Structure 1
């Protein structure tokens, strides 16, 4: 199993803190490094990074990052990073055979989330999304969250930022099969813009989009200065094993 980390966007809401969101430090460690280390701990054998904005700078940092983390890292540059994030998924997935962990560069997770998600594959699904059923989780920005409505099986019925009814929030971590990139491509061919949610909804409509409830586990979307301040305060404690490995303690 490999991992794909989406790191192509502009990161406008963190521009006052950093010119590159993936390289923004959290308690002294770049967000991207936290993601790579967590993917490796969950069993990934290689990490593909979808790059776009500041691609040259980000790609120049990857060899040293691979050496520090002890895992192969391969860039997949997105031709037009202003397009929706589904284009990044397709670019990265083209460099991966089989199933993969899909992560966003600005999301960080307590260790059990990715490890547990990696075990959720099955013939009945084309993708499994990690969800948080705590829709009032104070760490979640309700104005930026992607919401999920599930059916009686726990599969996705509807997903999006503005859906009228929901019972969970998208955590930004997926166990994807090759079906996901194909679904995004089909959505684009049908006239959609090509967001990841477009592909997810297509799989949901086909009954192929499963979920996995993270329970009480900790996660955070580090998308703006408020969330970054929370990460600075909480990540060293919630990701203690990652920070200990980095510091050699």
Structure 2
């Protein structure tokens, strides 16, 4: 198993002078936490997509590799001014070079309960769709989520994704920012780019039409997106409560 971590964003809402993935919480950077948790779930190779502050991520690589005894590659996305789908596409050469049939994908500024990750790894292994997205049911365990900023998902009774976006009026799930993708997904991203569509959600929408985008419900665990100062504080609070 292999993981791509997107860490190219410009940090316009949480500008600490470093990539958000290098923010330290409870003595550990968010990036180090990702590598520790996913390696424990069986991930063997990691690819970090850098952009803003790429030199600082590169400087952190030796310690990350040594601490976790992990195979970590950093690829720089020079167009980090574009949306996150373009950063996903930057991993194409790494996926192809290593002969991967599929890979996991997450964001460097997300935080997951280790049991959340483990359940998604187990549940996604038996699915055959091009894209599998870990979703959560709105409820008590995610009441801290910023409802205006979270990506919302509408899924049907079979778990297929019918709609996705931050402003869709009807939804029954939250996008948690954790995916399992087949390598062929890069063809869909290229089609999106041809239409000047650069978000992950826009490529998911294209896969929806062919019933190739399916949700995987993982509920009852804590997760968060550290996107702004309020998110940072809520994550600290969750860690203080031993919920993360």
TM-score after normalising by structure 2: 0.92
Q: Does 1:192 align with 2:196?
A: yes
1:63/1:73 contact within 8 Å kept: no
Q: Alpha-carbon deviation of 1:193?
A: 2.2
Aligned runs of 1:229-240 on 2, under 5 Å? 229-235=233-239, 237-239=242-244
Partner of 2:82: 83
Aligned runs of 1:1-249 on 2, under 5 Å? 1-15=1-15, 17-96=16-95, 97-119=100-122, 120-122=124-126, 124-134=128-138, 137-189=142-194, 191-235=195-239, 237-239=242-244
Unpaired runs of 5+ residues, structure 1, are: 240-249
Alpha-carbon separation, structure 1, partners of 2:176 and 2:137: 10
Show CA shifts across 1:63-84 (max 9, x none). 2111101211100111211011
Partner of 1:247: none
Alpha-carbon separation, structure 2, partners of 1:228 and 1:56: 23
Alpha-carbon separation, structure 1, partners of 2:134 and 2:116: 8
Alpha-carbon separation, structure 2, partners of 1:165 and 1:135: 16
1:127/1:179 contact within 8 Å kept: no
CA root-mean-square deviation:
1.6
Show CA shifts across 1:126-173 (max 9, x none). 111010111673221111111101012111011111112111110000
Q: Secondary structure at the match of 2:134?
A: strand
Show CA shifts across 1:61-106 (max 9, x none). 1121111012111001112110110111011233022211101011
Q: Alpha-carbon deviation of 1:184?
A: 1.2
Alpha-carbon separation, structure 1, partners of 2:130 and 2:176: 18
Q: Alpha-carbon deviation of 1:19?
A: 2.9
1:118–1:94 Cα change, 3 Å: farther
Q: Secondary structure at the match of 2:65?
A: helix
Show CA shifts across 1:173-213 (max 9, x none). 01111132221111112x13211111111111110111111
